[in-house]
Structure formats: C-alpha cells, structure tokens
Structure 1
Amino acid sequence: MTYFADLVDGYHRFRTADLRRQHDRWLKLRESQEPKVMVIACSDSRVEPAQVFDTLPGEIFVVRNVAALVPPFETRAGFHGVSAALEFAVTKLKVEEIVVMGHGACGGCNAALTDVFRDAEPGEGGFVASWVSILDEARETVKAKYGDTADAGREMEYEAVRTSLKNLLTFPFVQRALDDGSLKLHGAYFSLMDGELRVLKDDGEFHFPQPAQVETSVLTPATS
C-alpha cells in the first residue's frame, strides 16, 4: 500500500532523477503551459491518463472526476469545477482537442446503472447519487436494451462517454470552437481487463485504434 510518506519518498526520487533528466522542459513549463489536448477522465486510481497515453508533463490538460462526466451547460449559482476547467482549456489555453476517456470496472457508472445510492444522505452516497444522475437518461437506454445482462455494465460505461460528449455540445464556447474548426472532440475507453484502448468512431461504436503513424521499416524487414 502507498501512503503519504511513500509519496514524499517518490518526490525525492523525482527530484534527483526525472527533474534533472528533463531540466530544460521543466524550465520552460515554469513559465507557461501550452497543451494541445484536454483529457476528461475518471478519478479511479487505476486509470491515469498520463500513463495510459504515455505523455510528458505539460502535454495534456487533465480533469478527473467520478465516471469522467461532463455536466450539461448551466449558469445557476454553484461550484462548477468541470465547467470552469473546460472554459479555461477552451477559451484561454486554446486546446485543439478534447478527449473524454471512460474505462472498465467504473464504480461511478455502476452506481448510475444500479441506482444503488438512491435517496442516500450526503456522506452515505448522496453526493455520488447526485453527480451520476447526469446518466439517468443513459441508464434507461441501457436498461431498455440490455436489461440486467452482463453486457449492461460495459454499455453503461460506453454511454457515459457518449453522454459527456453530448453535454460538451451544450457549452456555447465549445460549440463556437467546433464551428470554426479550432476544436475536435474524441471519445475513448480504456479496458482494465485487457489494457486495450478503444476509440469512438463515426458509427457510434468503440473500436481498437491503429497507431497514427507506423514506420514501415519496423514492420517490413529489409530485403537484400
């Protein structure tokens, strides 16, 4: 198990190793950040976007919450953490792509699907119930198609990604950026069972992606 003391030890390893190896990068990052991609991911400790995507510090702007959800746009008084991060990323950092990444064995999606915290008080699951109510419509869609079968859980996790992408379109500044071609949206899903990443395609389904660029020489042996 890892505790805070272990984290402090890790910091000292980072300071004496990685920080020195990437000295120039860290000097640049202390002045500003210019990520091209925003990733909206789950808080689950098993799904770390920087590790899954093999990125360096400063390359992705990450927001994590239960079930990787984006709420619909609203202006009522309250604490809008995801909306604030989204606003900053799109209007200030000018990110060019947003990725919503769901994952397998998601506790938040399971809570939404089973409605296990219905009527629970804050501190007993009430906050979770309120948050995953974003998926109420998705739950009904999944239940109607899959019932209580084993496939319902996976489909709920897929639907969470689709729901967040749909909700992104309700933000005026996101829609403007999409309209002028300065922003693209992507859906992704990381399977804990097999370590595979699946990407949402135009057909509305998740597929295993091919590398964006593959060196031919790596795949084809030289011939004499």
Structure 2
Amino acid sequence: MNYINAILPSLIQGAQMTLSLFCWTLIISIPLGIIISLGLISHIKPLQLFLKFYVWIMRGTPLLLQLIFVFYGLPIIGVIFQRYDAALFAFILNYAAYFAEIFRGGFQAIPKGQYESAKVLRLTKMQTLRRIVIPQVVKIVIPSIGNEVINLIKDTSLVYVIGLGDLLRAGNVATARDVTLVPLVLVGVIYLAMTGIASYLLKKIENNYSKWK
C-alpha cells in the first residue's frame, strides 16, 4: 500500500496529461469533422477531391506514424512543434478525418424530403442545417462517435513515442525503475475507469437522443 501511495502522484500527473490531450482533441476535432463532412458532400469538386485525399491519408496510415512524422519529420523542413503541440496536432488531424466520415454518413442518411420541406418553409441553408438536419445527424452518429471517443482514450497512450509524459509513460518508468508490474496494473485500472466513465456518459446521451421522434 505504501508503494502504491508513492507512485500514485506520478500516475495521476500522467493521467492529467492524457485527459488534457483527450479533451482538446474532442473539442476541436468534432466541429472540424462536421465542417470537413460538409465539404465532402459539397458540389465543389476540387474541394471534395482534396478532402477525400486528406481523409484517405489520415485513415489509411497509422496514428503512430503520423505522430512520428509531425514531431520528428516536419522539423526537417523547418516546421517545429513542442511535444504536446505535436501530439495534439496529429490527434486532431487524425480524428477529424474519422469524425468527418461519420458525419458524412449521417448527412447522407437524411432524406431529401427534409431539405425540400425546409425550402417550402422558406428556411435558409444555415437554418435548415441548424434546426432540421444537424439534430437528426447527431442522433444517427452518436453510437459511432461513442466508439471513436473510447478509441481516443486508448490511443492517447501512443504519445509515449515522442517522449510525452502521459499515463502509460509514467507507468513504464515506474515499472522499469522498481521492477514490478504494480504500476502497469494501476495504469490499466485508470484507463478502465476513464473508458467506463466515458461509456456511461455516452450511453446516457444516446438514451436521451433515442427519445427524440
């Protein structure tokens, strides 16, 4: 018990870094994903092709490679990020692409009659999106968004590759130093707690939206 109390502060500090990366990625990548999804279904061909290429690159290459490329590769051409900024930048680009595909599917699932009805009611395009389309899209995509949120919590462990002091790195350091599996077990428990809380909140949100007609 004394040993757990001794290593817990470093694990909590690592967990704070993990949660910070998780929260900022969600806050920025979800709205960005919505904007990209609108571009993907737009009638502007050059924009559509560019965004399709971006999504293809982000979804077709490992997030680990993207982290390494941003932190170790970009400085070769003079683009330098601090460790946290590099991780956040890579995560936002990656998850925005995944969210864009999810929202694209949601937008395309809305019947065309909804848009025609909005025209009859003389709603502008922005009013149609805000009042009619987006609420329905959110209801459709919540389960898929929930899966990505859980994946994001676990994917934050990849930042160890650029030396960022996250939860997993704190556990690895303690394990290597003290030659015991206890830190890694505690890391697993903390990850399970975070994913459990996220799953519970997402389920509540999903249940709330399922009541909408």
TM-score (norm: length of structure 1): 0.27
Q: Select the structure that is richer in strand.
A: 1
Q: Select the structure that is richer in helix.
A: 2
Higher relative contact order (CA 8 A, sep 6+): 2
TM-score (norm: length of structure 2): 0.28
